[in-house]
Copies of this chain bind each other. A is one copy, B any other.
């Protein structure tokens, strides 16, 4: 019997369509990535080609004798928002509100190696990537007018990138997404009713239920949420009560790197290198100490297309049962 489930964080509905269900292994084989190569002459993200990109705003330099960088961050050459834009709101005919697309849009190159997928890095390399996220968050959060910072990664064509060299992106803007405010409304209402953080209670309920867990460590929990919007949607949540990823300490960062690497490696092996998006669901800037929110990492493998029903209703039809996909993922050996 299919179920309609309510996402506790947004109150949106999700249809768990078991009548249309596929087996987890049916989602394999959509990858079209090439094998690992060390270096590509034509790739603007490869070492030696730094002049094809904009100047670095952050580099972690290797301590080996040959020098070079481990992680490199610079402005996106084709930015969605730019720091040289004004920051003015404009209203036309009382209907059309607009503002200039002010902000920062950065690229975080995760490795000097052209095709070293984050799933195949070691813990120190993954930790470098996460530290670069945090360092750039911290720097940009101090910039006037920055109200939200979205950190994300697109892996593969179906996930919206054509650039193979592993990289993440960061967009800092002067607007807080409506999406986030709607989630906040739900979280604040829950907090006011219960004196508890909705996200912490959700995490603890997933721990207690157990059926959708992938990994539970002393610091982080990984699971396929009850009302997963899409097959293999994966959340990584801290046990610490932190509203912002920027609050994470160096020691925890290393634990997070390990848990993220293992999660991505399980996906890589279990679904044969699927295309995916990764986003850090963070509090808005200046609201990092909210008691009613918990940052988390969301990983969305791009295995199915959204269609007219999702567009018309905002309700996702998920063709996989999270309890089944979680079991599948638990069984993938790493």
CB distance from A153 to the nearest CB of B (A): 6
Contact B312 A2 (CB under 8 A): no
> A64 contacts which chain B residues (CB < 8 A)?
none
Identify which of B1, B101, B311 contacts A300 (C-beta below 8 A).
B311
In angstroms, Cα B18 to Cα A85, docked, is 12
Stretch from A29-37, A109-117, A251-259, A276-284 at the B interface: A276-284
Q: Contacts A2-B81, A201-B95: A180 and B8 contacting too (C-beta < 8 A)? A: no
CB distance from A177 to the nearest CB of B (A): 4
> A201 contacts which chain B residues (CB < 8 A)?
94-95
In angstroms, Cα B169 to Cα A302, docked, is 23
Contact A101 B3 (CB under 8 A): yes
> A80 contacts which chain B residues (CB < 8 A)?
2, 15, 17, 19-20, 309, 317
**Docked complex: A284-327 residues within 8 A CB-CB of B:** 298, 300, 302, 304-309, 311-315, 317
In angstroms, Cα B180 to Cα A46, docked, is 46
**Docked complex: A147-166 residues within 8 A CB-CB of B:** 148, 150-154, 157-161
Between A78, A175, A315, the greatest number of chain B beta carbons within 10 A of the residue's beta carbon is seen for A315
A13 at the interface (CB under 8 A from B): yes
> A179 contacts which chain B residues (CB < 8 A)?
12, 313-315
CB distance from A279 to the nearest CB of B (A): 3
> A49 contacts which chain B residues (CB < 8 A)?
none
A99 at the interface (CB under 8 A from B): yes
Contact B101 A205 (CB under 8 A): no
A82 at the interface (CB under 8 A from B): yes
Q: Contacts A17-B101, A307-B277: A226 and B175 contacting too (C-beta < 8 A)? A: no
Identify which of B161, B180, B182, B298 contacts A307 (C-beta below 8 A).
B161
Q: A3-B100, A4-B173, A148-B313 are in contact. List 17 more A-B contacts (CB 8 A).
A: A2-B100, A3-B101, A4-B101, A5-B96, A6-B97, A8-B96, A8-B97, A10-B178, A15-B80, A96-B227, A150-B309, A152-B309, A160-B305, A171-B313, A277-B307, A279-B309, A300-B308
29 cross-chain CB contacts under 8 A: A1-B100, A2-B80, A3-B98, A4-B99, A4-B175, A13-B175, A13-B177, A16-B98, A20-B79, A92-B209, A93-B205, A93-B209, A94-B201, A95-B201, A96-B205, A148-B313, A151-B312, A152-B311, A152-B312, A160-B308, A169-B308, A171-B309, A177-B315, A178-B314, A179-B315, A180-B313, A277-B307, A277-B311, A306-B306
